[in-house]
Chain A
C-alpha cells in the first residue's frame, strides 16, 4: 500500500526566504503525486501534480516540486516566501494501475503548517 511522509509538521520562514516542504512517498509502482494547500476555513486547493510527464513540475503561486525517483521524494519549493503563503500544505499520492491509469483515491501526508514571518 502507498504511503506519504511529510517531514516537519511546522515550518517557519521569513518573508522573502526560500520555502522547502519535504515529502517522501512509498509506492509499489511509480505514482502520481500532488501537493494541495489548505487556507484557514477553506477547502483543499491543488497546487501542482506530477504525472510522469516531467520531473520538475511548476504550479500556482510560484511553487514548484521535483520528482526524484531515486530518493522517492517530491519536495515542494518556492524561491521567495510571501505572507499569503501561510497555510497548511499536504502531499498526496495516487497509485497507478498496471495499465498506467491511476486509482481514484488519494493517500495524504499529515500536513505541514507553513508560517511566514515579516
Chain B
C-alpha cells in the first residue's frame, strides 16, 4: 500500500510569508507525528496527534507554528511569519497508534522548506 506522503516536496518562500505543509498518513494509522530536521542534525520532534487531537505539542518552537488534523487523517503544519531559521526539512510520520509495542513510525520523504 501507499506510504506516508508529503506535499509539496520543496517549498521556497520569502521571510515573513505564511506556509502550509501537508501530510497524508498511511491509511488506518491513528497517530501522526511532525519532526523538523535541520542540516546536519537528527530529526527534532514538533508535535504528535492521536486521532484528531494534539497529544503532545511540546516541540513546537513558538506560537508561529501550528498543526491541525481535523478529521484524524491528513494533517497540515502551518507556519506564520516565516523566518530564515525555519529553513529545514519537515518530516511527517505515522503509526498504527502512539506508544506501545506497535508504535513503529513510518516516515514520509519530507518537505524541504527554504526561507529566503
* Residue positions of A touching B, CB distance < 8 A: 4, 6, 9, 32, 36, 41-46, 49, 51, 90, 92, 94, 97, 101-111
| Bound: A28/B48 CA distance, A | 21
Q: Known contacts A104-B48, A108-B44; is A41 also within 8 Å of B109 by CB?
A: yes
Query: Contacts A45-B107, A110-B40; is A101 near B45 (CB within 8 Å)?
Result: no
Of the stretches B14-22, B67-75, B78-86, B95-103, the one at the interface is: B95-103
Contact mask for chain B residues 18-42; partner A; CB cutoff 8 A; 1 contact, 0 none:
0000000000000101010000111
Q: Which of B1-20 contact A (CB under 8 A)?
A: 3-4
Minimum Cβ distance to chain A for residue B37 (Å) = 8
Q: Residues of B within 8 Å of A, CB-based: how many?
A: 31
Q: Is the CB of B42 within 8 A of A101?
A: no
The answer to whether A104 touches B109, judged by C-beta atoms less than 8 angstroms apart, is no
Q: What are the residues of chain A within 8 A of B35 when measuring CB–CB?
A: 106, 108
CB-CB under 8 A for A108 and B42, given A42-B109, A43-B91, A103-B56: yes
- Given known pairs A43-B109, A46-B104, the reply for A105 and B43 (CB within 8 Å) is no
Q: Mark B86-116, 1 if CB is under 8 A from A, else 0.
A: 0000010101001111011111111000000
Question: Is the CB of B76 closer than 8 A to any CB of chain A?
Answer: no
Contact between A101 and B100 (Cβ–Cβ < 8 Å)? yes
